[in-house]
A and B are shown apart, each in its own frame.
Chain A
Amino acid sequence: DSGVTQTPKHLITATGQRVTLRCSPRSGDLSVYWYQQSLDQGLQFLIQYYNGEERAKGNILERFSAQQFPDLHSELNLSSLELGDSALYFCASSEGGGFRYNEQFFGPGTRLTVL
């Protein structure tokens, strides 16, 4: 158990809908990262927050947004969902603010299915 929690575990929704995925980092970790894992795109970095501020942005679509709250939990909002958004979404956390030399601890993921 990494200490990172994600809810819900599974989510099934329809095209055009909006969903919110939630992540609670490990105690003491200030950074939260979001990743998408799909069969055709592999593991892709979406976005990182450090202590409430956006730190780095990867291949995140404009239909997707995220935020980190004062208690350091984070939410990833996915809107106008398309079939291709079906994937596993992972949250990770780390103590420090960068990718380098900071071990990221991954949560168990949320499996999103868009029908």
Chain B
Amino acid sequence: QQQVKQSPQSLIVQKGGISIINCAYENTAFDYFPWYQQFPGKGPALLIAIRPDVSEKKEGRFTISFNKSAKQFSLHIMDSQPGDSATYFCAAADNYGQNFVFGPGTRLSVLP
């Protein structure tokens, strides 16, 4: 119940295309859903985050869509660029402040 599932495991997109990464959870105590971006040799960095009282959040080319009833959320990267090539992790935190879990990650490659 603590798990966050993430798909696809890897994704190849042409420059200018849309990259879509999906995550799903079971634990209804989760109420904060951040996405992290990790480049090789670096630590993860917060990209964008959403609360469950909002169905969508957009920051530049990055958008999180959230479906509370389905317990699913997704990251959309519009106009994908080669510089977006990285591993993306969804994550979830519970409202007790005791649990923070990551999805297994998606390796994104954007072809020039």
Contact = CB atoms under 8 A, between A and B. Distances in A.
A43 B32 contact: no
A2 interface: yes
Contacts of A107: 43
A109 interface: yes
Of residues A2, A57, A100, A106, which shows the largest number of chain B Cβ atoms within 10 Å of its Cβ?
A100
Interface string B92-103: 011101111111
Nearest to B103: A42
A29 to B, nearest CB: 14
Given A55-B97, A99-B32, A42 B104 contact: yes
Nearest to B94: A99
A100 B45 contact: no
B97 A56 contact: yes
A106 B43 contact: yes
B42 interface: yes
Given A42-B104, A58-B99, A104 B46 contact: yes
Nearest to B32: A100
Interface string A18-56: 000000000000000100000000111100000000011
A42 B99 CA distance: 16
A44 B44 CA distance: 12
A99 B43 contact: no
A66 interface: no
Given A45-B101, A58-B99, A100-B95, A108 B42 contact: yes
B56 interface: no
B55 to A, nearest CB: 18
Interface of A: 2, 4, 33, 42-45, 55-58, 90, 92, 97-101, 103-109
Interface of B: 31-32, 41-46, 49, 51, 89, 93-95, 97-105
Given A43-B102, A104-B46, 12 more contacts: A33-B100, A42-B103, A56-B98, A56-B100, A58-B99, A90-B44, A100-B31, A100-B32, A101-B51, A105-B45, A106-B45, A108-B41
